[in-house]
A and B are shown apart, each in its own frame.
Chain A
C-alpha cells in the first residue's frame, strides 16, 4: 500500500493561480481600503492584496521604525505615520487602519488608544491601553505582539479582535488560526472560534468557545475572576456539567488551574467526553507532566 501511495500522481496546479497571485501583487492599494462589503473569500483576497501591496512597497525601501496609519472615519490624533513611542487615539466617531510594516493590518475601533512599542526584525509590538482593535497578521508565528494592561497576545498566525476596558480588563476573540495569551508564565492557547478574558494582575482566564453555553461562560468568569472559595466551587461544578466535546479546550486548560484535589474531576470529565488517546498516561496527566499535557492537547485539538 505504501508503494501505491508513493505512486499517486501529482496534480498540476492551474496557471490561473499564479495569475491571481500576480494580480494581487500588482493591485494598487488605493480603492482596496474602501468601497463595498465583499464576500468572505473576496474579502480575504482584497485584504491579502492590500497587505501584499504594502509589503512589496515596503520591501523596496529602507526599513523604517514606523507604521502607516490610514484614517477610515472621523478625526485622528495621528495619521500618516506612527513611530515607536507614539500614541494613536480615536474618538467616538473615528476609526483607523494601521499597516504593520509588511506583516499585517490593525483596524482601530472608535474610542481606542494604542501606542506603537516596537518595530524591528523579530518583534512588532503594539500596546492597547483601552478600546478595541482587530488584527490580521500573515507573518511567521511569534513576531507580532499586542500588550494590554492584563496580558500579551502573541500571534501564532491568525486574525483576532482584542478589547480592553477602562479598568484594563481584556477580551480576546480569535477568528482565524491561534493566539497565545500570556502573562507572567500564565498562558492560554486560543483557537479560531474561541475567546479568552483577562484581568490585570491575574492575567488570562480560561479560553472558551463562543458557542459554549452561557451558563458555562458565566461560570468560567466566576471561576477565573470571581474570587473566594464558593465562587470557585460553584463555577467549576457548572463548567464540568455543561461542557461538550468541544469544550475540552476549556477543560484541558482547567487541569493545570484547579486545586490538586479537583484535578481528578476535571480529568474524569475530559475522558468522559473524549477517550484518553494512546500515549497519554493518566498518572502523568494528573501530575501535569508538560510533555503529556502537550500530547493530550494535540490530540484534543482535533475536536476543537
Chain B
C-alpha cells in the first residue's frame, strides 16, 4: 500500500503518524520519496551508487529523526529538499579536492530499468544528457536536478536552496545554456 504513494498523497496524517514514531508511516514517507532523492544523489555524485545510497540514507535518517520537531509552518517537501541540498553540498565540499569531471562509464550505469527495450537513438540521447548533466558545476547541476526530477517550483527551489527566486532562475538559465553546449560537443 505504501509503494504507490506520491508526494501529493503524503498527507498531514502520515506526517503526524511519523511524529508519533509510527514505523509504517516512516516507510510510507520513504517509499514516496526514495527514488527521487536517490536519483538526485546518483546524478549529483556522477553515478556513484555508494555515495548516492549513503546520502539517501543520511537524508532519511535526518528526516525521521527531525520530524517530531517539524512544525508544518513550511512545506514538508521544502524541508526534505533542503536536507537533500545540504547533503549534496556537504558531499561536494568533502569531495572537492578529488572531484573530477563526470566519468562516462559511471554515468552510463544510470540507464532506466527498461532501457534495453527502448529505441536505440532515444537511449543514446538520454545517455548524452546524463553525461552532460553530470559534468555541470555543482551550482548549476543542483537546480536542474531539483527542477526536472522533482518538478519543484522556483519558490520551492529557492526555499530548498536558501536563495532567491532570481538566483534560481539565473542558475537554471545558465545551466541550460551550459548543458546545450556540452550536448553539442557530445553529439
Q: A interface vs B, CB < 8 Å? A: 1-2, 4-14, 16-18, 20-21, 24-25, 41, 44-45, 48-49, 51-52, 55-56, 58-60, 102-103, 121-122, 138-140, 143, 157, 176-177, 192-193, 278-279, 291, 294-295, 298-299, 302
Contacts and interface: CB of A to CB of B under 8 A. Distances in A.
Contacts of B86: 157, 177
Contacts of B130: 8
B113 A302 contact: no
A246 to B, nearest CB: 11
Size category, B interface: 35 or more
A118 to B, nearest CB: 14
B64 A52 contact: yes
A55 B54 contact: no
Given A8-B149, A21-B30, A52 B35 contact: no
B125 interface: yes
Interface in B107-140: 110-113, 115, 125-126, 129-130, 133, 138-139
Contact of A10 (B35, B93, B163): B35
B93 A192 contact: yes
Interface string B48-74: 010011101110111011101111001
Contact of B69 (A1, A7, A13, A121): A121
B39 A52 contact: no
Interface stretch (B5-13, B18-26, B98-106): B18-26
Contacts of B39: 10-11
A140 B163 contact: no
B53 A14 contact: yes
B27 A18 contact: yes
Contacts of A8: 43, 126, 129-130, 133, 148-149
Given A17-B57, A18-B34, A102-B68, A5 B148 contact: yes
Interface in B65-104: 65-66, 68-71, 74, 79, 82-83, 86, 90, 93
A56 B21 contact: yes
B57 A55 contact: no
Which 9 pairs from chain A and chain B are nearest by CB?
A: A9-B112, A59-B21, A13-B38, A13-B34, A298-B163, A5-B148, A138-B62, A302-B139, A11-B39
Contacts of A60: 20-21
Given A2-B176, A298-B162, 6 more contacts: A8-B126, A9-B126, A14-B38, A21-B60, A122-B71, A138-B65
A150 to B, nearest CB: 26
Given A17-B38, A48-B62, A143-B69, A9 B53 contact: no
Nearest to A19: B57
B37 A13 contact: yes
A7, A10, A16: residue with the most chain B Cβ atoms closer than 10 Å: A10
A10 B150 CA distance: 10
Interface string B140-166: 000010011100000000000011101
B126 A17 contact: no
Contacts of B15: none
A4 B65 contact: no
Contacts of A59: 19-21, 68
B129 A13 contact: no
Given A9-B115, A58-B68, A177 B90 contact: yes
Contacts of A6: 148
B79 A5 contact: no
B183 interface: yes
Contacts of B126: 4, 7-9
